[in-house]
Amino acid sequence: MGLVIGPIVAAVVGAVLAGGASFALISSQTAVPPTVDAPYVVYGSTN
Amino acid sequence: MGLKGRAVGWLDGPPSVHPARPDWRTWAPVAWVVVLALLINAPLLAPGFVLSYDLVFTPRQDLLPAALGLDGGFPRAVPQDAVVSVLTTLVPGMLLEKAILVSIPVLAGLGMLRLLTDVPALSARLVAATLAAWNPFVAERLVIGHWGLLLAYAMAPWALASAVDLRRGRVAAGPRMVLQIAVGSLTPSGSLLLLGLALPVAVGPGSRASAGIRALVGCGCAALALPWVLPALLSALLSDAAPTYAASAASGAGVFGLRSEGPWGPLLTALGLGGLWNADAVPDSRSWVVAPLLGVVLLLLAVIGTPSLIRSLGRAVTLWLWATAACGLLAAVLSATAEPLWASFLEMSPALGLLRDSQKLLAPLALLTSVGAGLGVAAALARVRDRSARSALLALALVVPLAALPDLAWGVGGRLTAVEYPPEWPEVRDFLAADPRPGDVVVLPWSAFRRFAWNGDRTVLDPAPRWLPRPTVVDDGLAVATPDGIVVVSGEDPRAAEVARAIAAGDDLATLLPALGIGWVLVEEGQASAIPVSATALAGMQPALRSGGLRLLATPMPAQERGLPPGTPWVVAADVLVVASLVAWAVAAALWREPRRRRGSFGTVTPS
């Protein structure tokens, strides 16, 4: 019994956790980040 | 080398386990953790709100669709905003924020004490608690305001301890673990951290809990992710948002990867638990040479402490801790050293955008080095025969992490402080709450972040969406300064994209906005704009209120009613289900008592 339930639980948990990953059903696309010149408040700096 | 059988002194003796007579060895670590928390948070306890980057609280936050993930964007702050909305109906937002900020180092430190309950060496518990509460990961995430992730980090040792208990067959730990994971699951990142760390330990191979209990606890824990998984899925499937999510994830890969904090490179930076992408949010001490050195020393101590960790938590759990820490470290370093590869990985699925801010993947490493180095220090001290030398070395072990990161103290070196909102903010809120005219609110200037003089010109996310009692449309693109210029990581809200297009084109907003369900424009004067708003764009708007630095305008035509977002009933039903399940788990935790246990030798606690 335990040998069966364990994988089932793992599968259910994995399925829910992978819910977000199931977005892969829809093809993703690459974006080219635009650059702007305006001197406004930025989130932060990687410099 | 282990601790068992070593010469014992006051550092090595077990704390009193009799609940009625806790001795100083029980209270001293607790008091030490509280001292550390106060050392970090003392200036934040003054009246006012702490506003820094994503850290935004208001006196009262309304429960709006966005708080449930129904605004079209990826639900990154779900259910965090919903929980804050509910709690601020009971507690003023200012007190709630202070309670959360103080609780983060307290919970992290006490969680380590809980995880090492069975370890007799006081030195191990003290050092582990210190390292968990006081490290660069905590410092950098505090400044950038990721309190939801930090709460998950702080709850991780608690959840792990309960998972270990459940793994050993102590059924009562199950409800406790679900509740602990729930506390830390306020954001998708926090949810994944806790589920990934604790759930496999509790229900994975080798668990002595019955299959039924494992199934119940596993489902209970997994259900905690529903509040953000479901709206994300529905949004992607019902409104074609997935490509937008993917675009956002892909464009964020380059700017949100791990950042080297010195010439020693990303690996040593990551081992030192730093590397937040935002240089402006990093304490100055992170550029000191001691930063990577301490990281290496702590890792070596963790290696030394691993045999003790195995005795305390078990071989499989220790292996799992090391594996998660290693994976997180590898991914974080890859994001800095193999950026194209990392970007390709993130592009594989829109959901992987959750990983784009890759330093957060170091959370398991932070936990491992805390608990491992604590045990490593204890193992090393056990070899020192002289009592005063042991005491001195322990003091050194406690002070060095603080000395290497002194600017975590006092609100991360003054980067965080409490300020009062000007009176115009509640005035605008009250006006919009009382006015019968319908419509959501566009907030200008068109920029996601603000710098208010009354907040010391600190960068902070626009507080309007949390202040106003109506849904808002704001710039949801994230502008980041890079060596190649400003990069804008695209947003996801389709209405925001439409408004941005109209502003850029100089369209008359008065005629456009009502069709989008928007009836108001709030202008925060004196703030810079990503896209300049022409005078003609607002020419047709009607002044409604002007107070201090805020100007509220109304559209001449009433806003069109917007129906509920697709999937709303499902999301609400899931949220109600999760809340109901948490009530049930709380009742189970209260009623489900473990038989009295007697403490065995180090690493074993045997049921009576």
3-state secondary structure B442-505: EEECECCEEECHHHCCCEEECCHHHHCCCCEECCCCEEEEECCEEEEECCCCHHHHHHHHHHHH
Strand, coil or helix: what is B249?
Answer: helix
B482 vs A contacts (CB less than 8 Å): 45-47
Beta bridge partners of B489: B478
A-facing residues of B in 463-492 (CB < 8 A) are 478-490
Higher-scoring residue by pLDDT: A36, B585:
B585
- CA–CA dist B463, B491 (Å, integer): 18
- Sheet of strand A35-36, all strands in order from the earlier edge strand to the far edge: A35-36, B485-489, B478-482, A44-45
Is the CB of residue B543 less than 8 Å away from at least one CB of chain A?
A: no
Strand, coil or helix: what is A45?
Answer: strand
DSSP codes joined into one string, B36-86: HHHHHHGGGGSSSEE-BBTB---S-----GGGGT-SSS--TTTTHHHHHHH
Tell me whether residue B407 is exposed, middle or buried, using C-beta atoms within 10 angstroms of its C-beta: 0 to 12, 13 to 18, 19 or more: middle
B253 vs A contacts (CB less than 8 Å): none
Nearest Cα residue to B77 out of B365, B577, B466: B466
Across the interface, of B205, B236, B478, the residue whose CB is closest to A23 is B236
Is the CB of residue B231 less than 8 Å away from at least one CB of chain A?
A: no
A-facing residues of B in 88-127 (CB < 8 A) are none
Q: How far is A2 from chain B (nearest CA, A)?
A: 5
Residue B50 sits at φ, ψ, to 5 deg, of -95, 120
DSSP codes joined into one string, B381-437: HTT---HHHHHHHHHHHHHHHHHHSGGGHHHHHHTS-EEPPPTHHHHHHHHHHH---
Binary contact (A40, B445; C-beta < 8 A): yes
Nearest Cα residue to B104 out of B27, B38, B9: B38
Residue B253 sits at φ, ψ, to 5 deg, of -60, -40
Instruction: Look at residue A37 in the predicted model and tell me its pLDDT.
Output: 44
Binary contact (A44, B488; C-beta < 8 A): no
Across the interface, of B53, B203, B279, the residue whose CB is closest to A45 is B279
B455 vs A contacts (CB less than 8 Å): none
Distant-in-sequence, close-in-space partners of B599: CB < 8 Å, separation ≥ 6: B14, B17, B118, B605
Interface-testing mutation among A35, A42, A47, with chain B (most B C-beta atoms within 10 A): A42
A-facing residues of B in 253-282 (CB < 8 A) are 254-255, 259, 277-281
Instruction: Look at residue B599 in the predicted model and tell me its pLDDT.
Output: 43
Nearest Cα residue to B523 out of B437, B419, B420, B424: B424
How does DSSP classify residue B531?
B
Interface-testing mutation among A12, A36, A46, A47, with chain B (most B C-beta atoms within 10 A): A46
- Sheet of strand B518-524, all strands in order from the earlier edge strand to the far edge: B472-473, B440-444, B518-524, B550-554, B542-547
Nearest Cα residue to B125 out of B270, B1, B24: B24
Is the CB of residue A46 less than 8 Å away from at least one CB of chain B?
A: yes
**Mean pLDDT of the region A18-37:** 42
Q: Which residue of A has its CA nearest to B446?
A: A40
Q: Which residue of B has its CA nearest to A24?
A: B349
Q: How far is A4 from chain B (nearest CA, A)?
A: 8
Distant-in-sequence, close-in-space partners of B392: CB < 8 Å, separation ≥ 6: none
Count CB-CB contacts under 10 A for residue B282: 24
Instruction: Look at residue B602 in the predicted model and tell me its pLDDT.
Output: 42
Binary contact (B486, A13; C-beta < 8 A): no
How many contacts (CB atoms, under 8 Å) link A and B? 192
Strands B518-524 and B440-444: parallel
Cβ proximity of B11 and B126 under 8 Å: no
A-facing residues of B in 25-84 (CB < 8 A) are 53
pLDDT of A1 strictly over 80: no
Binary contact (A42, B486; C-beta < 8 A): yes
Could you state, in chain order, the average pLDDT of each consecutive group of 10 residues for chain B (608 residues)? 43 52 84 98 97 98 95 88 98 98 98 95 97 98 98 98 97 97 97 98 97 97 96 79 63 88 97 97 95 97 98 97 98 95 86 90 98 98 92 94 96 96 98 97 96 96 98 94 89 90 93 96 92 87 96 96 87 97 97 62 37
Strand, coil or helix: what is B587?
Answer: helix
What angle is formed at CA B358 by the lines to CA B356 and CA B363, rounded to 5 degrees? 135
Cβ proximity of B453 and B31 under 8 Å: no
Token readout for B483 is: 């060596």
Binary contact (B251, A42; C-beta < 8 A): no
pLDDT of A30 strictly over 90: no
Q: How far is CA B483 from CA B8, B255, B269, in A?
A: 56, 10, 20
Is the CB of residue A37 less than 8 Å away from at least one CB of chain B?
A: yes
Is the CB of residue A17 less than 8 Å away from at least one CB of chain B?
A: yes
Token readout for B360 is: 């957060």
Instruction: Look at residue A38 in the predicted model and tell me its pLDDT.
Output: 45
B451 vs A contacts (CB less than 8 Å): 41
- CA–CA dist B445, B450 (Å, integer): 9
A31 vs B contacts (CB less than 8 Å): 246-248, 250-251, 490
B229 vs A contacts (CB less than 8 Å): 16, 19-20
Binary contact (A26, B531; C-beta < 8 A): no
Is the CB of residue A6 less than 8 Å away from at least one CB of chain B?
A: yes
Please measure the distance between the N-terminal and C-terminal CA atoms of chain A and give it in whole angstroms: 57
Whether a cis peptide bond, with omega within 30° of 0, leads into B59 is no
- CA–CA dist B10, B182 (Å, integer): 37
- CA–CA dist B394, B377 (Å, integer): 8
